Amino acid sequence: MKLISAVVISALCGLAGTLAEGQAPIITSIQIAGGGCAFTAGSDAPPCSIGPGMVLEVFGQNFSETPFGVGLCDCPNATILRWTPTKITVTVDEVNPESVIRVENWGGAYSNAIPYVALPPVITAIEVGQCTFVPNKSRNLCDITPGTQVTIHGNYFGRYPGQVATCDCPAATINSWNPDWATDPKQFNNTIVATAVEAAPGDSVLVDAGYVWSNAVPYTTCTQ
C-alpha cells in the first residue's frame, strides 16, 4: 500500500474544509438564553420578541468552523459570544421591524430566514437638571428648551446611536449612547445623553433605535 504524503493529506483536508464552509447554513431553531422564548424553523407558533441586549442562541448545521456573521437587520452583525458548526450564541446589538434572523458562514453562504418581532425602545425616565420625570408616575413635567441636556433612561436602546426627537424638528444632538455597551451590554437600564436642538410646547421626547420608535414622554417649555 502506498503511503499518502503529509502534503497531500493537508491539501485534502483544506479542500474538505473549504467545501464544508461553502455549504449553506441551516437554522433549525432559536432560543433566547436563560430559558426565554424558543422558536422552531417552519413552526406556526408566534415568532419570538427580541430586543437589543438579549443573548440569542441559534441552533442548526453547516455554520462552518470559522465564525462569521449572524444578522438581525440591515446593520452590523450581532456580537458573537460562541460559534460552533451547530450552535451560535450572540448578543443582539440592534433589531429592525420586518427583519429576519440569518446566519452567514465563512464561505459566504446564507441560511434560511427565521422571523422575529423587534421590541421597540422604552423610555422609563428622563432627567433634566434636578428634574426627573417617570412616565405614568410623575406629576410635574421637566422643562426642555433649545440647548437643554436631557439624560434618557430606558430599555432596548441597543449599541448603535439612532435618534432622539424632542419635536417635529431637527433631531437632538447625541452626546452619548449606551457608552458602556462594549463591556456591559444589557436589555435594561440603558442610558442616552442628548442636547435638544429645538423644543415645542406640548411635545414629547422619543427615542428611535433601529427605525423603531419608543413611547412618547411629555415635557414643558416653561418651568413648572
The tens digit of pLDDT for each residue in 14-44 reads 444 444 556 899 999 999 998 889 999 999 9
Q: Residue 208 contacts by C-beta under 8 Å, 6 or more apart in sequence?
A: 121, 162, 163, 164, 165, 214
- R_g of the chain computed on alpha carbons: 23
Mean pLDDT, the chain, rounded, equals 90
Q: Does pLDDT of 224 surpass 80? A: no
pLDDT at position 23: 87
Spell out the CATH class of 122-218. Answer: mainly beta
Q: Does pLDDT of 88 surpass 90? A: yes
- Kindly give the pairing relationship between strand 48-50 and strand 114-118: parallel
CA distance 187 to 35: 15
CA distance 176 to 72: 24
Mean pLDDT of 68-72: 97
pLDDT at position 99: 95
Q: Does pLDDT of 211 surpass 60? A: yes
Q: What is the percent of the chain with per-residue pLDDT over 70, rounded to a whole number?
A: 89
**pLDDT tens profile 138-168:** 999 999 999 999 999 999 999 999 999 999 9
CA distance 173 to 147: 9
Grid cell for residue 149: 441636556
pLDDT at position 16: 42
Q: What is the percent of the chain with per-residue pLDDT over 90, rounded to a whole number?
A: 85
In the CATH hierarchy, which fold is given to the domain comprising 25-118?
Answer: Immunoglobulin-like (2.60.40)
**What is the Cβ-side half-sphere exposure of residue 9, based on CA atoms within 13 angstroms?**
4
pLDDT at position 223: 55
Q: Residue 9 contacts by C-beta under 8 Å, 6 or more apart in sequence?
A: none
Grid cell for residue 167: 419635536
Mean pLDDT of 108-124: 97
Q: Which residue has the cell 426627573?
A: 132
Tally the residues of the chain: 224
Q: Are 216 and 194 in contact (CB under 8 A)?
A: no
DSSP state, residue 34 = T
pLDDT at position 35: 84
Number of H helices, E strands in the chain: 1, 18
Residue limits of CATH 2.60.40.10 in the chain: 25-118, 122-218
DSSP state, residue 123 = E
CA distance 8 to 154: 58
CA distance 113 to 7: 40
